[in-house]
Amino acid sequence: MTILVVKVTAQASHHSFVSWDQKMLRVRLKAAPEKGQANAALLIYLSRMLGIPRQAIEMTRGHTSRVKYLKIDGVSREALSERIEKSLSLESHQK
């Protein structure tokens, strides 16, 4: 089990990873922060971008905050960091 801290900016023009400093991932999401829309979008986006099953990602804190704490099962901290860095690299090359 790994805990990932994510700072979310909702209602952005597109979904994207912004930065990663080994402590916090910053993410932009198109979804609005209403009725759990941004939370649901975050879990789906992380699952897709990091290649982690959606069922393995659980939000433990921050349901109504911009800073979210996610519990991720089945992935070590090191492997998660590598996946995040790879996704950031891929996104920066697509811009």
What pLDDT sits at residue 57? 98
Residue 95: pLDDT band (50, 70, 90) is: low
pLDDT tens for each residue of 44-91 = 999 999 999 999 999 999 999 999 999 999 999 999 999 999 998 877
**Backbone φ and ψ of 15, nearest 5°:** -75, 135
Domain locations in the chain as residue ranges:
2-94
Cβ-proximal residues to 74 (8 Å cutoff; 6+ apart), any chain = 52, 53, 56
Q: How many beta carbons lie within 10 A of that of residue 88, not counting itself?
A: 17
Question: Could you say which architecture CATH assigns to the domain 2-94?
Answer: 2-Layer Sandwich (3.30)
pLDDT tens for each residue of 22-39 = 999 999 999 999 999 999
Nearest to 93 by CA among 9, 16, 1, 13: 16
Residue type, 27: V
